[in-house]
Amino acid sequence: MPDKAPMKALAERARAVLPAGGFGNFDPSIFIREGHGARVLDEDGREYVDYLIGSGPMLLGHGHPEVLEAVAEQLPRGMTFFANNAAGLELAEEICRAVACAEQVRFLASGGEADMYAMRLARAFTGRDKILKFEGGYHGMSAEAQMSLAPTRLVNFPQAVADSAGIPEAVRGEMLIAPFNDPEYLESLLAEHGDQIAGLIVEPLQRIIPPEPGFLLTVRNLCDRYGIVLIFDEVVTGFRLAYGGAQEVYGVTPDLCTLGKVIGGGFPLAAVAGAQGYHGPFRQGHRRRRQVADDARHAVGQSGRRRGGPEDDGNPAPRRRP
């Protein structure tokens, strides 16, 4: 007799190989089999209206015909090249047209990775170490981001409370926490620490809390006053709150913004977007990698001459004049 409840068996298997028996985001007893449009089916055949939409990026629903057509067209041509491609360039151009702060785009794999890079870019650009975030804001799983999302103990602002084990005390010491929608406190905090802060990262619509009128503009002005890089985490709001994201809705332009899987139709893709000047470390990294590659090619060539290549007779290569 066939199993009438396959999810029960799947849950038993999952407990053996997955921490707490799940992927870490949802009820581990539920296994989704497929999705169509706004609805999903579990492995027992029950249907649900999908309000999760993949934690946000499945804005068009599951199996949208245009997305399926684009994927089916690309798959026979290959999936990962580790090199430039025309489709990626076209997407970068569209992001730059749509998003107010975007002059250049660096693609990444996840929104959390994009947030991590944005904070690093702020530090590289300013030469400062501290990052300011707001209590309750979610910016991925990096050590800096896992601070005061849902603090388990009450401390005075601007002290940070680590949300996870395994975060060094040195990282916590470089994070400052402020209450969202409190411009007076923020101004007093920056009056004391503003010249130490590299970047301020904020969800312009924090989880389900909208900004009070004028709050984001105050944040923008204070960042300008103290030379702080303003980062909008638009992983949730980008291309959803409006086509131009929260920047379009609230009329405030950050220095950098981060975008998540919505730009890839739900596939693992993200980006850091901003003015050209903030992307300098990416260009420097490319030059360093290119120099390493050139050095490696030179070393291989020298080794080949010393050891004898396929057409070498084993005799030392003639010395060349410099």
For the annotated catalytic residues, the residue numbers are 138, 233, 261
Distances (CA, A) of 49 to 33, 41, 46, 252, 314: 14, 9, 10, 35, 72
Is 95:102 a contact under the CB 8 Å cutoff?
Answer: yes
Residue 5 pairs in a beta bridge with none
Q: In 10 A of CB 188, how many CB atoms?
A: 14
Query: What does the alpha-carbon distance between residue 197 and residue 141 come to, in Å, rounded to a whole number?
Result: 21
Residue 35 pairs in a beta bridge with 40
Query: What does the alpha-carbon distance between residue 189 and residue 182 come to, in Å, rounded to a whole number?
Result: 11
- Residue with the two structure tokens 């990698």: 289
Query: What does the alpha-carbon distance between residue 148 and residue 223 come to, in Å, rounded to a whole number?
Result: 21
Query: What does the alpha-carbon distance between residue 216 and residue 210 come to, in Å, rounded to a whole number?
Result: 10
Query: What does the alpha-carbon distance between residue 108 and residue 105 come to, in Å, rounded to a whole number?
Result: 10
Pull the structure tokens for residue 180. 């969202």
Q: Using omega within 30 degrees of 0 as the cis cutoff, is the peptide bond preceding 211 cis?
A: no
Q: Using omega within 30 degrees of 0 as the cis cutoff, is the peptide bond preceding 254 cis?
A: no
Q: For residues 244-253, b (16+ Cβ closer than 10 Å) or e, as one string?
A: bbbbbbbebb
Query: What does the alpha-carbon distance between residue 235 and residue 322 come to, in Å, rounded to a whole number?
Result: 54
